[in-house]
Amino acid sequence: MNCDIFYRSYKNDFEWLAYSLKSVDKFAMGFNHVNIAVPTEDLAYVPSVRGERIHIVHDNCDGYMAQQITKLYADEFCEADYVAHLDSDCILERKLCAGDLFIGGKPVYLREDGTDSHWIDVAAVTLGWRDSNEYMRRLPIVYPKWIYAEFREWIKQKHKMPLEHWVAIQPAREFSEFQSLGQWAHKYHHDAFHWLHPSEFPTYVNQFWSWGGITPEIKDKIHNILAS
C-alpha cells in the first residue's frame, strides 16, 4: 500500500520520538516516507534516525490544540495515498508492513461501543450528533489522504469558520481530532474503511503516556523491545 507515516511532535516529546523512530526503523516495512511536523522553534532539536522528512508548522494557539490541527492537515505534509498516524510515545514492538493495516484494500479502523469515554460527548459538540462508539482505540490510525480536506470543508460549512479557528476556540481543550474524524468518517464514508472491534485486530504498538515521562522502568522496557 502507498502509505506514509506521520508524526506531529515538539521538543518536550523528542526523547520519546527518538525511541519511536528507532522502533519504526527496526520494525516498519513497506511505508513510503516518515514525516514529522514540528513547531518552528523546536526545529534545531528534532531527532532523526534515517531519512525522515521534517516539516515546520507555525502554531497560532495553545500547543495541545495546535497539534490536533496539524494532524487534520496531514494531507499537506504527506505525499502517499494513505497516512498512518503515530504519536511520539508510540513504540512499535513487532514487525509491521504497511499492508498489515489494510483489509480488502481498505484501511482498518477500530471502534468500540459501550466505553465510558469523555471524548464521545466532546466530539458531539463539533459534529452535532452523538455516536456511542470510541474511535481512538489504538495507533496507528490510517486515513486516505483525500479525507482531510473534505472533513475540513465540512467543518467550515457547518461552523462558518475554518477548522483551525473552530478548534482554537473550544473551551478547556475540549476537542478530539481522531474521535471527531473517525465518527464523521463512519457516517459519511463508511465504505472507505474496514471497521473492526479492537479485539479483532493485532496490536503493533506499545502506547505509552508521554506526559508521565520516561521513567527508568519505561526506558528498560523500550530498550528490551528495540533489542528483540
Ordered per-residue pLDDT tens for the chain, 228 residues: 799 999 999 999 999 999 999 999 999 999 999 999 999 999 999 998 888 999 999 999 999 999 999 999 999 999 999 999 999 999 999 999 999 999 999 999 999 997 788 999 999 999 999 999 999 999 999 999 999 999 999 999 999 999 999 999 999 999 999 999 999 999 999 999 999 999 999 999 999 988 788 999 999 999 999 998
d(CA 81, CA 222): 31
Q: What is the pLDDT of residue 1?
A: 78
Strand, coil or helix: what is 200? helix
Q: What is the pLDDT of residue 200?
A: 98
Q: What is the pLDDT of residue 211?
A: 75
Given a contact cutoff of 8 angstroms between Cβ atoms, the answer to whether 39 and 12 are in contact is no
Global pTM reads: 0.96
Is residue 51 left, alpha or beta, with left meaning phi > 0 and alpha meaning psi from -120 to 50? left
Q: What is the pLDDT of residue 213?
A: 84
Q: What is the pLDDT of residue 123?
A: 95
The Cα-based distances of 109 to 37, 118, 134, 178 in angstroms read 23, 20, 11, 11
